[in-house]
Amino acid sequence: MAFDLKRVLKVMLFASNGPLSVKDIQTAVNRFHEQAAALPLEDEPVAVADGTSPEDAGEIVAEPADPNAPVEVAVPLPVEDEEFYRDVPALITTTQIREAMEGISLELQAADSEIILTESHNGWRLVTHPRFARWVRLLRNDPPPVRLTGSALETMAVIAYRQPVTRAEIEQIRGVSAEAGLNKLLERDLVYVVGRADQPGRPIQYGTTDGFLEFIGVKSLDELPSSDVLSPRQIDAWLQTSSNPRPAGDSDMGLDETEEQQMALQEPAVAPEAPVV
């Protein structure tokens, strides 16, 4: 049986405690070759513990240099496993890993499996299908998920597109207090304190966390949908205008600026009075 990358990745995904990254997979492959290089060669003579042959003992025992050191036992692999491990490539590229992961994902979808493969910003992992989430919560006795309020969602959107952003800027953009929404997002670990702005009073700035990326299902902020409403350039112009208001003119009130001029043109000319003799 030749080396099958997809089968190996399935095992790694199953055994991993968290997201499995490309670096984790390549590190495991490097460790395999390091350990394989440290094993004795097939033609190298080895000492056996009680003088019996390796075939009779079923195991090969390497004689330690120190007689008091523990004896290391190398159990030979079955022939089919030796072929499997002999074909492991020295390097597995990122493209090969991604193609194999896509193949695993398509296989799970085609089988309508209860398990699906998801990719986040820090790797892949196997998760339960959303339609079975309730059974997992019942098993763990977890409370049902609580949805974010509209206020919290608006605050999170402003932070995502504007970050780093201060509370005053959030409130100025939304027009209402952002304290409740910010506290809820901080509690859910969707936003965090980035630092302090270089402004009078050094106000706190907020940004989104890695949990935010998992919450909305994207790998990076670059995958956020484009927004003309929340673009930094337009927000800067709007904040500048709101900070320095100007008197409202006819155009702001919906009036035609040319109406007054047209009325002046339509007025009849008044004939000059005749001089009194």
Residue 60 is predicted with a pLDDT of 47
User: Tokens 């007689």 belong to which residue?
Assistant: 67
Residue 271 is predicted with a pLDDT of 54
Coil/strand/helix, residue 2 = coil
Domain residues of the chain, as ranges? Answer: 5-41+52-128, 150-243
Whole-model pTM: value is 0.56
Confirm if 123 and 24 have CB atoms less than 8 A apart.
Answer: yes
Residue 110 is predicted with a pLDDT of 93
Residue 113 is predicted with a pLDDT of 92
> Angle 177-180-182 (CA atoms, 0-180°, nearest 5)?
90
Coil/strand/helix, residue 62 = strand
Residue 205 is predicted with a pLDDT of 92
Q: Which CATH architecture has domain 5-41+52-128?
A: Orthogonal Bundle (1.10)
How is residue 186 written in tokens? Answer: 């901080």
Confirm if 180 and 187 have CB atoms less than 8 A apart.
Answer: no
The domain 150-243 is classified under which CATH number: 2.130.10.10, 1.20.1560.10, 1.10.10.10, 3.50.50.60? 1.10.10.10
Instruction: Give the closest residue to 208 by CA, choosing from 230, 192, 222.
Output: 192
Residue 139 is predicted with a pLDDT of 93
Residue 20 is predicted with a pLDDT of 92
Sign of the four-CA dihedral 96, 101, 102, 107: positive
| 225/231 Cα distance (integer angstroms) | 11
Coil/strand/helix, residue 40 = coil
Residue 36 is predicted with a pLDDT of 80
Residue 114 is predicted with a pLDDT of 92
Instruction: Give the closest residue to 260 by CA, choosing from 249, 248, 247.
Output: 249
- Same topology, domains 5-41+52-128 and 150-243? Answer is yes
Coil/strand/helix, residue 120 = strand
User: Tokens 């919560």 belong to which residue?
Assistant: 137
Residues 6+ apart with CB under 8 A from 115: 108, 126, 127, 128, 129
Confirm if 19 and 123 have CB atoms less than 8 A apart.
Answer: yes
How is residue 144 written in tokens? Answer: 């049902």
pLDDT in tens, the chain (277 residues): 578 899 999 999 999 888 899 999 999 999 998 888 776 545 445 454 455 555 554 544 445 556 665 555 555 555 456 666 677 888 899 999 999 999 999 999 999 999 999 888 889 999 999 899 899 999 999 888 778 888 888 899 899 888 899 999 898 888 888 888 898 899 889 999 999 988 888 899 999 998 888 888 787 888 787 766 555 555 556 555 555 555 555 555 555 555 555 555 555 555 555 555 4
| Neighbouring C-beta atoms of residue 22, cutoff 10 Å | 17
| 234/240 Cα distance (integer angstroms) | 10
